[in-house]
Amino acid sequence: MEEILRTNDPATLSFAEALLKEASIGYAVLDSNMSVLEGSLGILPRRVVVQQDRAAQARAILSEAGLGGELAPVR
């Protein structure tokens, strides 16, 4: 799995999820239960990960949709 997006904005996260679903790219959202530790303040970002072989395609889709600034650095 490769991290492609990191955000604490629920709207951005929802938009990214919709784009990935539409493209039939499997993904997982990590750290979504961290709000228990942070007191629901939205401080800790959620991470979206995809399979490594689909990461480039996922990044391209999110960039074309205007989320390029939210993308995690390529490792």
Buried b / exposed e along 46-72 (16+ C-beta atoms within 10 A): bbbbbeeebbeebbebbeeeebeebbb
In contact, 45 and 34? CB cutoff 8 Å: no
Q: Please check the confidence at residue 10 and state whether its pLDDT lies above 70.
A: yes
pTM for the predicted model, two decimal places: 0.85
Over residues 24-49, the pLDDT tens digits come to 999 999 987 765 555 555 578 899 99
Mean pLDDT of the chain: 89
- Indicate the fold that domain 2-35+42-68 takes in CATH: Alpha-Beta Plaits (3.30.70)
Q: What is the mean pLDDT of residues 56-72?
A: 95
Q: Where are the domains of the chain?
A: 2-35+42-68
